Amino acid sequence: MNREKVIECLNEILEHELAGVVRYSHYSFMVFGYNRIPIVNWFRSHANESLLHANEVGEYITRMDAHPSLKIGKLLETHQHSIGAILAESLEHEKIQVQKYRNLLDEVKDQDIALEEYARKMICEEELHISEVEKMMKSPE
């Protein structure tokens, strides 16, 4: 196992999860209209979940006797705040996150069972998030 590459993958995940905290919090502020309350709650729950994920990956980084990054992943302010635009940005964020976890899985497969299982669990969670956002983006008609 390439320890440096694994730590790099973990830090990229950490940075992206922290960006999710900021992103989903921001989105929750920008929701207006009749369905505001449940959508705000949904975004805030995802912000909290991203923070939990960041804490978890930070623990894996220090388990490897490495230093967690203080950076935050890419944040893009599009100034597009319709629910559809926000959901499209969320979908893109989730797809990038899945790829980051897949990269980790590729690095640790058959070499570190704990990290392999962690990556698989997170891929499953992120893929469920993707399907959830895709469903939210569909017209109810």
Mean pLDDT, residues 58-73 taken together? 96
The percent of residues above 90 in pLDDT, for the chain, comes to 89
Q: What is the pLDDT of residue 60?
A: 97
Task: Tell me the residue length of the chain.
Answer: 141
- Outline where DSSP puts E strands in 42-96: none
Across the chain, mean pLDDT equals 95
In tens, the pLDDT along 15-33 reads 999 999 999 999 999 999 9
- Asked if 94 and 126 count as a contact pair (C-beta separation under 8 A), the reply is yes
Tokens 């912000």 correspond to what residue? 47
pTM, rounded to two decimals? 0.93
For residue 100, the tally of other CB atoms under 10 A from its CB is: 23
In tens, the pLDDT along 86-119 reads 999 999 999 999 999 999 999 999 999 999 999 9
The Cα–Cα gap between 28 and 7 comes to: 32
Does the pLDDT at position 127 exceed 90?
Answer: yes
Domains in the chain, CATH or no CATH each? 3-136 (1.20.1260.10)
